[in-house]
Structure 1
């Protein structure tokens, strides 16, 4: 049997899968897997379905219209825990899709008013009676948690000092133009496009807050994994190989960025996708740099392990901001959601490294996260939800 043949025992039970994605640069590995032969190599046909909102993507995962999807980490865990308006459903993180590549931007009027740093934003918020409105992409999602984390690190209480609204990623630019929002946290290419169109500035990248932070995942329901284990493993193998391909060299990144720019995928100018895809940043304030922690999809397997500690971190933030009213069994929930055994099988069959499922990270505010005591970590922040605070309706 050659490498392109699949044994009958490992053949996907469901060879045609419907895969959801959002118009974001970090959907790249899923799109490359579906369109560049990686899925076929593993006996799959992946039908891609671009979604207009994370809520819609979630609902289609739950009702079976989508088999798996490019997903927010916090979306998967929110559904697992019954948060954010969906019934509690057992969910699965098959693998990590990327690290880094998200930012927080402020509007042009704030920039013109000299609000070009966290310290300036904090002064503005506390000295002005009018409340600022920040957009994120989903109530339990990655961008909500990054936004709240960073605002709090600047002394701005995200539930009491500012307003927060949900806006789908591709709509951020129009909301900024219409001055319905004063800033946002979102993935690329939308922060780069805002800078390119002189609609404000990038105040911080999320990798400046947490270098090589967890970002999007390949998510599905537990029911899918249980019913179609071979299909799930084949899907992981296809996306893993696509991830490795993207990260192999600059030419592959350039060709992938070109693919993403097309109308059916991200539908954004290559000039907004490619530079930050390559780690080349401009913030709209006259600064340009080569980022030490650019958007990455594989990094010899370091990106793709569904780390237990990554899943646990999002639950600590749910607890911090009042979405969870008590501490869950953080490790037990993560062990249920993160499909570590399936991931290891797929990676080892491809000869890829499989890191340990707990990792340690130093965040910019001086905190260290290693998953060893999540309940204490969640309680250890100076700013957190108080009685009466709630994110449920936000």
Structure 2
């Protein structure tokens, strides 16, 4: 029955696609990193959503990590790519590359975890760590670091941790989690970038004590018995933005119909992924293939099927670990994008004041998304601006509220921050206000990725 429904749905897509304008460019290359959240691109390819839009898409696994992805998008080797939500912003600001890139849609919410090795976990347990608690704070790590400072004095050797890229959610989440307990990331430890698939081997080799990465690279360590996942990014910020579909702004301008066709295909794939847990199981089998994530089905299932493996042998319920379409997961909120700019200031990555509203409205494209969403039946939120940290399924670990109208105050309200720009200077460049509207928590596309079946509205 399911196959018949999909066949009918795909047939409708083909008919609808013929009514759309012809794509300017049909042969495309889309780059991705071997992570489970590349699933919308894989499904768009494998389930024929790209083909239904008249596109011949080569979905390419990038071996050079996120820097490789970014370089190839900027050079034009990739027409579109799987990208960290902060990457197109950073490139447009000249931090990470130097090109006006745009975020066309959000690929998912959540999807990361902070995993530490057994050695440092043993040290943290001496200072009160209970790795079965949810969520785990970094207080025991802070106490261990304080004791280490006292014992080593002027010869203190900072701890070393891994993340995937300097402007990644992973970097900001790891820092956020540590700083919430008073740890100073740039003094008490060193945080280095590594390609996601290399994280487990670097931890086992002793090059890092732990890391923040997407799946399946947390589960690999836990299943090997080499460490535990202490917190997910859902624990740090419920339903936070993670990856985006990015492209060069000039490519989008030159190829508007191609861009919309790709967006429609990916958005259909996202809705398909959240339609049922059976769809997730099918997606896991595709992701396991060598040309995609190349990981055992049993490992991929630990996070993609509504559970998450914090500790070996204990599958914890976590239906929102990966959200692809529900709760407006695909929508590129301006306010989400601006949060990344605040983190670039907080951690000293930007050394001059910019108008954050102007920047994010240049990079994120909810206007274009709205056109495509109506064509495929994706529900839009009431506004591209919202507050975070105020709703039932949208809270921060430390209880803070992210209000874009208080963006400058937000940066300097944190006790731990390394801004290179004064509050006064940044405030002068950001004399604006926006109207925020809070969307209700909704699951219009199915039970997968949904907090509770009672929120599912699909008939």
- For 1:345, the equivalent position in structure 2 comes to 371
1:56 alignment partner in structure 2: 68
Larger CA deviation: 218-227 vs 269-278: 269-278
Q: Answer yes or no: is the 8 Å Cα contact 1:75–1:138 preserved in 2.
A: no
Query: 1:317 corresponds to which residue?
Result: 343
Match of 2:153 in 1: none
- Structure 1 unmatched runs, 5+: 389-394
Cα distance in structure 1, aligned partners of 2:39 and 2:351:
36
Structure 1 residues 36, 63: closer, same or farther in 2, change over 3 A?
A: same
* C-alpha distance in 1 between matches for 2:161 and 2:187: 13
1:185 alignment partner in structure 2: 212
| Alignment of 1:120 onto 2:140 | yes
Q: CA deviation at 1:2?
A: 6.3
Counterpart of 1:102 (choices 106, 109, 112) is: 112
For residues 13 and 316 of structure 2, the distance between their equivalents in structure 1, rounded to whole angstroms, comes to 42
Length, aligned pairs only = 385
Give the Å deviation of 1:329: 1.1
Query: Within 5 A, what are the aligned runs for 1:162-241?
Result: 162-241=189-268
Q: For residue 399 of structure 2, give the secondary structure of its aligned residue in structure 1.
A: coil
Which 10-residue stretch deviates more, 310-319 or 364-373? 364-373
8 A Cα contact 1:361 1:369, kept in partner: yes
What CA distance in whole angstroms lies between the structure 2 residues aligned with 1:143 and 1:166?
10
Using the TM superposition, give the Cα deviation of residue 243 of structure 1 relative to its aligned residue in structure 2, in angstroms.
0.5
User: Residues 68-107 of structure 1: matches in 2 within 5 Å?
Assistant: 68-84=80-96, 86-87=97-98, 89-107=99-117
Q: CA RMSD in A?
A: 1.8
1:392 aligned residue: none
Q: Name the larger-Rg structure.
A: 2
Tell me if structure 1 keeps the 8 A contact 2:351–2:420.
no
Compute the TM-score of the two structures, normalised by the length of structure 2. 0.81
37, 47, 60: which one aligns with 1:36: 47
CA distance in 1, matches of 2:119, 2:306: 27
Please state whether the residue corresponding to 2:188 is helix, strand or coil.
Answer: coil
Report whether the alignment pairs 1:19 with 2:33: no
What is the alpha-carbon distance in structure 2 between the residues aligned to residue 168 and residue 9 of structure 1? 39
After TM superposition, the structure 1 stretch with the greater mean CA deviation from structure 2, 7-16 or 151-160, is: 7-16
Checking the alignment, whether the CA contact within 8 Å between 1:278 and 1:294 is kept in structure 2 is no
- Give the alignment partner of residue 111 of structure 1, picking from 98, 121, 142: 121
Q: Which moved more, 1:247-256 or 1:5-14?
A: 5-14
Shift of 1:304: 0.6
Aligned twin of 2:133: none
The more displaced of 239-248 and 377-386 is 377-386
- What's the secondary structure of 2:322's corresponding residue? coil
> Matched residue of 1:225: which SS?
helix
Aligned to 2:424: none
Distance 2:18 2:301 in 1: 39
- Worse overlay, 136-145 or 289-298: 289-298
* Greater alpha carbon shift after TM alignment, 231-240 vs 336-345: 336-345
How far apart are the structure 2 equivalents of 1:360 and 1:323?
24
Q: Secondary structure at the match of 1:10?
A: coil
TM-score by length of 1: 0.94
Which range is displaced more, 339-348 or 325-334? 325-334
Alpha-carbon shift at residue 119 of structure 1 (Å): 1.5
Shift of 1:287: 5.5
Question: Secondary structure of the residue that 1:165 maps to in structure 2?
Answer: strand
Following superposition, the deviation at residue 290 of structure 1 comes to 0.8
Partners of 2:31 and 2:62 within 8 A in 1: yes
Displacement of 1:328: 1.8
1:12-60 CA-to-partner distances (Å, cap 9, x unmatched) read 1001110000000000001110121001111112101111210011000
Query: For 1:294 and 1:103, how far apart are their aligned partners in 2?
Result: 9
